[in-house]
Amino acid sequence: MTVFKYVEDKDVFQKFYSKHLAKRLVNGTSSSDDGELLMLTKLKDACGHEYTSKLQRMFTDMGVSKDLDDAFKEQMRRNHESEESLDFGALVLNTASWPFQPPKSGLNIPDDLLKKYERFQRFYQSKHSGRKLTWLFQFCKGELKTNYTRGSKTGYTFQVSTYQMAVLLLYNTATLYTLDELLGTTGVVKDVLLPTVGLLVKAKILLVQGGALGAPSSRYVLNEDFKSKKVRINVNLPIKTEQKAESDDTHRTIEEDRKLLIQAAIVRVMKTRKTLKHVTLVTEVIQQLQTRFKPQVSDIKKCIDILLEKEFIERADNQKDVFNYLA
């Protein structure tokens, strides 16, 4: 926290911290919940309740979601459906609290998952009839147990993303697919499918024939001679293009949030002061926001123009550098 005091753009820190915290919670990679909560307490002491309110609601969501998942599994047990081989779990998160966006690709739910998927949908709607679930397939994951490899008697366990799972489950019915067949059957868009398949090819789970990865003539064959020293192989790795896009989206969100914060600060100042010179207004807006970030004068000017257009403020007669507040 000593270093945090010297971070000028605390709103940028908050956005990226929120992203990383969300991933740690969803993936279960936090070293300690107590440590995470202690950090939130320190951030709250430094920047106030509003700064950490969404972060704290994430922890609340995790607890509520666990209770919901436990209730679903209990219902499955009562209905004698828990003996099925598929171990299914779901996290239900509040859209307003989590820094996640809907997936950029659709997905045809594989038949192996469809029954549990539909059961959970019905279960959730029975609890919350007015709500809608948006499935974040880009964050879903699972494990597949293999029984096809010639070089292993016990088989392997692949830790995969849901998109990778949708691809690999197709190979239960055939050992070769064209790119168009993979696209059509999985319902995953090309920009998402290619890096998904690329990781499977890089891991040598699939082999490419008839052209380079992504070529129209390329075919993707199940590698029945797959070998690894590990029994559990993690193929669900970060994709660089997705990481870059996510970072760009975060920066865009920060810029949009800053515009709204600057406009709100201008309105607060003008509502209190009623009439102000341009220089004084800029100075007071900077003072109000400097605990979150240091707004650029050029950005404040743009926001003043927006508020002039929206008629929250007006220029004083014969004085271009003086503004009046419009009630």
> Residue 141: which H helix or E strand, with range?
strand 141-145
- Classify residue 211 by its DSSP letter: S
Domain residue spans of the chain: 4-100, 139-237, 243-325
Determine the topology of domain 139-237 in CATH: Ribosomal Protein S5; domain 2 (3.30.230)
**3-state secondary structure at position 87:** coil
Number of residues that make up the chain: 327
Rounded to two decimals, what is the model's pTM? 0.78
Q: How many CA atoms lie within 13 A of 21 on its CB side?
A: 23
Distances (CA, A) of 95 to 60, 267, 273, 323: 13, 28, 37, 39
Q: How many CA atoms lie within 13 A of 92 on its CB side?
A: 19
Q: Are 51 and 43 contacting, i.e. CB atoms less than 8 angstroms apart?
A: yes
Count other Cβ atoms within 10 Å, centred on residue 98.
20
Long-range contacts of 44-50 (CB under 8 A, 24+ apart): 46/1, 46/4, 46/5, 47/10, 47/14, 47/291, 47/292
Q: How far apart are CA 25 and CA 63, in angstroms?
A: 11
Count other Cβ atoms within 10 Å, centred on residue 116.
19
Q: How far apart are CA 139 and CA 27, in angstroms?
A: 9
Q: How far apart are CA 148 and CA 286, in angstroms?
A: 64
pLDDT in tens, 128-150: 888 889 999 999 999 999 989 88
Which structure tokens are listed for 255? 């810029």
Q: How many CA atoms lie within 13 A of 158 on its CB side?
A: 26
pLDDT in tens, 284-326: 999 999 888 889 999 999 999 999 999 999 999 888 889 999 9
Query: What per-residue confidence (pLDDT) applies to 207?
Result: 96
Which structure tokens are listed for 147? 């029984």
pLDDT in tens, 95-129: 999 999 888 888 999 998 998 999 999 999 999 88
Q: What is the mean pLDDT of the chain?
A: 90
Distances (CA, A) of 228 to 62, 203, 221: 35, 10, 18
Q: How far apart are CA 261 and CA 231, in angstroms?
A: 52
Residue 58 banded pLDDT, cuts 50, 70, 90: very high
Q: Is the pLDDT of residue 83 over 60?
A: no
CATH class of this structure's domain 243-325: mainly alpha
Residue 205 banded pLDDT, cuts 50, 70, 90: very high
Residue 32 banded pLDDT, cuts 50, 70, 90: confident
